[in-house]
């Protein structure tokens, strides 16, 4: 194998945008390594209501485009949420990076329309929310849709394929270091590929691998929170007056009993609930399409928990809770809110009698109180009561709850302002590196690392 100037580990948004920035110079030998499949080959083998096959590399969460390839495709054009990039670059600079990345998405076909720009309507929603101790964090949002997001990522793949070398279905085992500087990577099978710079952008699915590599290399890390909760599904008209204005409604709530932070996340208006395979565990997520609409809206309610000493394994904690749902339900569990409040499990007959037809057909009716920790359960129920003030009907007994939804954020490396690790010329970007948690900031983080390499080589 030949020498490369730059190797990018991971072909999610951080890796892709790093490559776009570097390839524009057209004078470096660049290699992208991705353990998942190419965008055109990413297909879940399940059909209809068949159970997950537990593929070694789940095509829903890994492959060209990363987990975002099949996400709702929302670009949250703000520094207020979506990661911690502002801790390195500052809010004003991060906003410039977000605008820059957004322009690139638009050049590759993102729709012109943005939500969340009507300030008068937003203020009205904020006033209603405040009556229930809810804070609405407004943000301009560009919605790609799962289908359009896939097209854009394919076009980026085609563009980069003519300018850099791309190897999919290629797993990186180790980062190579010599004399305090990165020296390349070792891929599955033992082959070593030398290079001058490495940008690690492994995505959430690769966060555990990255944490292990950091430990092996003796790099200092900071523990990020773990978010655990449920996905809520209800009739779309209940939230239409909000989603028509802001699309992605970011409500923040602090539970009265435990004072835990609870938030809405990944709202999918007129969307569908889907299963994801994370680390071999089946968790739940939501998608909205640009062209295909359902009668339901779904969103996550997540309780954030940051652990203190001596506990240092938040990902293991989240995985354990998700594994309980898998153990009891053979996968994702669904329960009517009314059944949960009545202290009984949901059955197929009770789900069928409900007013909300589930979009995820192979979820197992069950009892989430056997899965969620009491602290999380109480906080989620309090949040639903609060949401009922701003969106009457949200706390209906017919509302469906799917579990578990969990967001695993990797331990964050100690990084410089330009996202360089303690190993010279080794950069870390994106969700799997614990720097970001969303499409647009992950894309911006890739640009930060790439620009620093270009500056050094100028």
Q: What is the pTM (predicted TM-score) of this model?
A: 0.83
**pLDDT value, residue 85:** 95
CA distance 443 to 300: 23
- Tens digit of pLDDT per residue, the chain (458 long)? 568 999 999 999 999 999 999 999 889 999 999 999 999 888 777 655 556 666 767 777 789 998 777 777 889 999 988 889 999 999 999 999 999 999 999 999 999 999 998 989 999 999 999 999 999 998 899 989 888 899 999 999 999 999 999 999 999 999 999 999 999 999 999 999 999 999 999 987 888 899 899 999 999 887 777 899 999 999 999 999 999 999 988 999 999 999 999 999 989 999 999 998 876 789 999 988 877 899 999 999 999 887 776 666 777 788 899 999 999 999 999 999 999 999 999 999 999 999 999 999 999 999 999 999 999 999 999 999 999 999 999 999 999 999 999 887 657 889 999 999 999 999 999 988 889 988 999 999 999 999 999 999 98
- Extents of the domains making up the chain: 4-114+141-222+413-457, 226-408
The residues facing 221 across adjacent strands are 413
If residue 428 lies in a helix (H) or strand (E), which one and from where to where? strand 426-428
Which residue in the block uniquely carries the two structure tokens 């923040």?
252
CA distance 109 to 286: 23
CB–CB of 123/60 below 8 Å?
no
Q: What are phi and psi of 178, to 5 degrees?
A: -135, 125
Q: For 417-454, how does the pLDDT look when each residue is reduced to its tens digit (9 = 90+)?
A: 999 999 999 999 998 888 998 899 999 999 999 999 99
Q: For 141-173, how does the pLDDT look when each residue is reduced to its tens digit (9 = 90+)?
A: 998 988 889 999 999 999 999 999 999 999 999
**Beta strands 426-428 and 192-200: pairing type?**
parallel
Q: What is the CA radius of gyration of the chain?
A: 21
Beta strands in 72-127 (DSSP E): 74-76
**pLDDT value, residue 267:** 92
CA distance 5 to 28: 6
DSSP summary character for residue 294: -
Q: How many residues does the chain have?
A: 458
Task: Output the six-digit token pair for 449.
Answer: 């690392």
CB-CB neighbours of 373 under 10 Å: 14
Beta-carbon contacts of residue 4 (< 8 Å; ≥ 6 apart): 29, 30, 31, 165, 184, 193, 194, 195, 196
Beta strands in 255-379 (DSSP E): 261-268, 272-278, 281-287, 296-305, 333-336, 364-365
Picking from 124, 292, 147, 309, the residue whose alpha carbon sits closest to that of residue 223 is 309
**pLDDT value, residue 54:** 67
Q: What are phi and psi of 370, to 5 degrees?
A: -85, -5
Say whether 400 sits in a helix, a strand or coil.
Answer: strand
Picking from 435, 395, 444, 442, the residue whose alpha carbon sits closest to that of residue 416 is 435
Beta-carbon contacts of residue 342 (< 8 Å; ≥ 6 apart): none
Which residue in the block uniquely carries the two structure tokens 């904690």?
317
CB–CB of 407/227 below 8 Å?
yes
**pLDDT value, residue 48:** 53
**pLDDT value, residue 112:** 93
Task: Output the six-digit token pair for 191.
Answer: 């082959």
Q: What are phi and psi of 23, to 5 degrees?
A: -70, -20
CA distance 408 to 405: 10
Task: Output the six-digit token pair for 250.
Answer: 């970011």
Task: Output the six-digit token pair for 3.
Answer: 């020498």
The CATH homologous superfamily of the domain defined by 4-114+141-222+413-457: FAD/NAD(P)-binding domain (3.50.50.60)
**pLDDT value, residue 45:** 72
CA distance 443 to 96: 12
Q: For 67-88, how does the pLDDT look when each residue is reduced to its tens digit (9 = 90+)?
A: 777 777 889 999 988 889 999 9
**Beta strands 135-137 and 250-254: pairing type?**
antiparallel
Task: Output the six-digit token pair for 271.
Answer: 């969307």
CB–CB of 31/22 below 8 Å?
no
CA dihedral 244, 245, 250, 256 (to 10 degrees): -90
Task: Output the six-digit token pair for 344.
Answer: 């009984």
If residue 186 lies in a helix (H) or strand (E), which one and from where to where? strand 181-187
């Amino acid at each position: 194998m030949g020498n490369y100037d730059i190797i990018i580990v991971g072909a999610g948004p951080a890796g892709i945008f790093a490559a776009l920035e570097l390839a524009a110079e057209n004078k470096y030998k660049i290699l992208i390594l991705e353990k998942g499949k190419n965008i055109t080959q990413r297909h879940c083998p399940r059909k209809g209501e068949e159970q997950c096959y537990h593929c070694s590399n789940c095509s829903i969460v890994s492959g060209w485009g990363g987990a975002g390839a099949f996400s709702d495709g929302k670009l949250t054009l703000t520094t207020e949420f979506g990661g911690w990039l502002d801790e390195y670059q500052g809010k004003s600079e991060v906003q410039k990076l977000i605008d820059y990345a957004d322009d690139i998405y638009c050049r590759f076909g993102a729709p012109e329309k943005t939500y969340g720009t009507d300030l008068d309507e937003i203020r009205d929603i904020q006033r209603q929310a405040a009556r229930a101790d809810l804070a609405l964090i407004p943000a301009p949002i560009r919605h790609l849709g799962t289908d359009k997001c896939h097209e854009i990522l394919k076009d980026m793949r085609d563009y980069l394929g003519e300018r850099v070398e791309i190897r999919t279905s290629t797993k990186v085992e180790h980062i190579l270091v010599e004399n305090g500087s990165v020296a390349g990577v070792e891929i599955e099978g033992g082959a070593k590929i030398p290079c001058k710079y490495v940008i690690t952008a492994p995505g959430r699915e690769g966060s555990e691998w990255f944490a292990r590599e950091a430990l092996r290399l003796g790099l200092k890390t900071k523990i990020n929170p773990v978010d655990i909760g449920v996905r809520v599904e209800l009739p779309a008209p209940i939230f239409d007056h909000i989603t028509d204005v802001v699309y992605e409604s970011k409500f923040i709530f602090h539970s009265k009993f435990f004072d835990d932070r609870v938030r809405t996340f990944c709202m999918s208006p007129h969307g569908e609930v889907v299963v994801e395979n994370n680390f071999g565990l089946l968790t739940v997520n939501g998608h909205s399409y640009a062209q295909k609409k359902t009668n339901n809206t779904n969103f996550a309610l997540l309780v954030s928990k940051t652990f203190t000493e001596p506990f240092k394994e938040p990902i293991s904690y989240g995985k354990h809770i998700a594994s309980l749902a898998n153990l009891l339900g053979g996968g994702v569990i669904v329960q009517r809110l009314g059944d949960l409040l009545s202290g009984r499990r949901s059955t197929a007959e009770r789900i069928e009698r409900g007013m909300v037809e589930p979009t995820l057909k192979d979820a197992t009716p069950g009892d989430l109180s056997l899965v969620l920790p009491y602290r999380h359960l109480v906080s989620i129920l309090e949040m639903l009561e609060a949401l009922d003030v701003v969106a009457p009907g949200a706390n209906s007994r017919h509302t469906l709850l799917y579990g578990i939804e969990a967001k695993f954020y990797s331990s964050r490396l100690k990084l410089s302002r330009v996202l360089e690790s303690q190993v010279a010329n080794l950069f870390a970007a994106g969700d799997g590196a614990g720097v970001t948690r969303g499409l647009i900031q992950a894309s911006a983080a890739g640009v930060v690392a790439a620009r620093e390499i270009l500056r050094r080589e100028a």
